[in-house]
Structure 1
Amino acid sequence: MFVNAFNRLKSYLDSQVIGQPALTEGILLALLANGHLLVEGPPGLAKTRAVNALAHGVEGSFHRIQFTPDLLPADLTGTDIYRPETGKFEFQSGPLFHHIILADEINRAPAKVQSALLEAMAEKQITVGRHSYKLPELFLVMATQNPLEQEGTYPLPEAQLDRFLLHLKVDYPDSDTELKILRLTRGEALAQQAETPVRMSQADIFAARQTILQLHMAESLEHYIVQLVMATRHAGNYGAELGRYIAYGASPRATIALERCARAKAWLSGRDFVTPDDVQAVFHNVLRHRLILSYEAEAEGVSTDQVLSELLKRVPIA
């Protein structure tokens, strides 16, 4: 029952965000695996529209935060406000106290603001003064960054990147897809094919997460997941050139994320068991932001995706 509801939600997202099936699937994987996602791509590729469409399809509140260099941590978390009538300070909650957050151009905010978001993503709470405040149980952050403009940006530190479950890359659509987008914006395609959003309850989302954790995963597949992550730390065992290209491998969070996303991928496909194909399908998006390449790799123009593809080829399926 839950699978059908999520598939209807996926169809609705695809009808609103033309030509970006990987983006819409990634959003659902993050929702099901209880994680956050970082989306990188040029402006105008419906990143904001996608998460806005998700907010219409699930029960909960949505807020978009435009990150700028003059943003302060209190602009995210909220702050204590003095009430003269009572003579006391009262906490005024900030935009992080919503269920779905769009952190637009996250790399344009300074480190203090990024740290405030880090605590919210990692602990599902924020701290103001001496008090900590719990965030909603359903809490999803989708952060975006523009790869084209680097002037005036603050690159995310590795510790914060590791908090993201997935790192998706989106690119320009082809000509046929662009024509559909043109018609959609005119309202023609929207009037013909848009479905009524599935207003999915939070209880259904939590129940689906529990179901996913109960999917069958063979012990050999668990070993395969561990070996894939271990290969990023000891890449030299799979080729001297790979050993030269990776400076630092992925943390244990990558192992957990890879297993959770593979389970969610299998469940969305209508299966009650996980296969090696599910692991491989999410491998790049889970590991892309967790590797630190060496200067040698950068000098030779080797990308993280190329290194990950080589690891997939060389690590045997258990």
Structure 2
Amino acid sequence: MVTKQDTRPRPKAGPAEPDRPQRRKAAAAYPYAFYLPAGIVYVVIFLIPTVMAFYFSLTRWTLFDSTFVGLENFADFFAEQNLSIGFRNTLVYAVLTSGLKVVLGMLLGVLLTSRLRLRGFLRSVVFFPVLVSTVAVGITFSVLLKPDTGLVDRALALVGVSGHDWLGDATTALLSVALVDVWKGVGLATVIYIAGILSIPPDYYQAVEVDGGTAWHRFRHVTLPLSRPATYSVIILSFIGGLRSFDLIWTMTRGGPGFTSDVIASIIYKQYQAGFYGLSTAGNVMLFLVVSAIVIPLSWFLGRREIA
């Protein structure tokens, strides 16, 4: 049986295609070169100091020498009489400030993405405290909250409310500092929420309007669930900041009155002032571990809910 020969033109053979691994390597070589500067900075600025901190937490050290003492510094740190107060105040401060920043940041974000004529100006006003030095804010509010002579007590006196020693009373000192922290940091939370709300497609809002929904329905069924990534970011950032907070508390109360507004960071700083460098380094390591132990599971939990 004779078959007909295929006379159709065949495509010309081109150059041999390189192997897939070689192509992948060639494509990845260019981006990896950009990772190198960031990797060097990360190793020098973060990784090496962290390893050194873990080592020096096991020693009694000064600027010129060190003596290895093992876990003795950690035992002394946990024996600190004010440590339980510092842990409690740190958690209360972090939960209070991060919670208020989430609530107020969302409300301000919704307000400043609405059809306000002065919304651009108001955004600048809300964000301005973020740009001010924390120490300057602490000094300013220390003056404003002075008993009798401070502007806050004078304003309250005009409406018939007696003055109060806000920073000198053990029951209000930590709360007063926390509210100042919220005033300073809510601008950043608001900016994150504004970005999250503006990224929501307007079709969702139009669908709610077509169904006859009110402003509450738009917020409840569109803004609130779709701004969850912004909420996740605000919670993590503000909670980490609250757990590590030191400068504002030290500027306004120095941990007082007594030790009632001490947090872990201020206790560590007092040990540095007293010359117990190894002990305070152990405290810093413990603070690092505590923040990691709280934030990593929280980040995993919130990230899981965000995906769900």
- More strand per residue: 1
| Greater Cα radius of gyration, structure 1 or 2 | 2
Common fold: TM-score over 0.5: no
TM-score, length of structure 1 as denominator length:
0.23
Higher relative contact order (CA 8 A, sep 6+): 2
